[in-house]
Amino acid sequence: MAVYKAVALVSKLTQAGAVVKVMMTESATKFVNPLSFQVMSKHDVYTDTFDEKDSNVIAHIDLADWADLIIVAPATANVIGKLANGIADNMVTTTLLATTKPVWIAPAMNVHMYEHPAVIRNIDRLYKDGIRFIEPSAGFLACGYVGKGRLEEPEKITALVAAFFQPKKLPLKGKKVIVSAGPTLERIDPVRYLSNFSSGKMGFAMAEAARDLGADVVLVHGPVSIPIPNGMRVISVESAEQMYEAILSEYDKADIVVKAAAVADYRPKHPATQKIKKTSTDQGLELERTTDILASLGAKKTHQLLVGFAAETNDVATYATGKLEKKNADFIIANDVSKTDRGFGSEQNTVTLYGRDFERAFPSMDKKQLAVQLFETILTQSGVAE
């Protein structure tokens, strides 16, 4: 059973040099005596929120602050559901809701439970909340089924923990990176506007990747409805012109600029100051070009590495390579937004990175994971962070 693997996990982590403290739910104590974890960890085991072992502190708050990393292993469908919905009714869930430290969840359950829509929905919610998952492996399960649902092996989890605490390379330390994200909004009148379907997710992922690689990030974003990343300077804008001015004000000191925003190409030439009333006849809307931000930055480029995006619905390679030349960009990240399962608004993306005499296609993956791989490839190809 998975809970016995947890005993081995505590042993492996302790042998690797980690200081481990164990919390158990009441159900877990039905399978393994807390004494087993106490022997392996050389620390008291916490099973009751109200059992304060040290009167100087509140146990679940103290543990939540003490840990550098919290691993829930094995994580049942029940505990995953409680965490996803903010329920804190035992020592484990109460501590997890009180912590600000990284949390990893290692699920273990029947294969059909793992594939149930409610469990999938709860995992997705927790992932969006910043919790990371150690995927279960496939094999013979305690219930008699064969399939995906086995707790990952203790050795593999221990290796992941060791890698997590290795000193991280920060190739962008000391570099200033500007990232634009999301749509722009061009007003027709006080209640109507022109815009597009960009959610800002890919741009935000690029900003977070740059931040995690050590950069001083300036994020310039249009109107979005997703959480704003932390750990960077944020400039909120509405129109294409406002976005251009915001980027230009930071451009001279930038080392890298990633133009991920979906900027309107046109805006109403004469936006109305009052709501345009409906009439019995057709009406025309006169449009004028907005500033081509990428082309303007390319023309003004001195030392900056300029990365643009090309969201296309056809002839992706042709338009992307043409954009690379016309806009004087160093790299273009192109994707086909005609596919409903990727691109605008989705969690996944499939792109091809084009550079001068360089091309690399990336398979479909989570946008955050993709952003890291894009930056790593761009830095390797350009040598900007050497």
- Per the listing, tokens 């393994």 go with 32
The CA–CA distances, whole Å, from 247 to 175, 177, 181, 221, 232 equal 16, 11, 11, 10, 15
C-alpha span between 200 and 301 (Å, rounded): 25
Q: Which residues of 203-220 are buried (b: 16+ CB within 10 A; e: fewer)?
A: bbbbbbbbbbbbbbbbbb
Cα separation, 152 vs 107, in Å, equals 8
**DSSP class of 181:** E
With contact defined as beta carbons under 8 Å apart, do 106 and 133 qualify? yes
CA dist 256 and 303 (Å) reads: 9
Of 18, 15, 16, 53, which Cα lies nearest the Cα of 34? 53
Task: Return the residue matching tokens 């070009």.
Answer: 289
Q: How far is CA 59 from the centre of its chain?
A: 31
Greatest Cα pair distance in the chain: 83
Which residues are designated catalytic?
143
| Single-letter amino acid, residue 384 | V
Do residues 24 and 92 make contact, with C-beta atoms less than 8 angstroms apart? yes
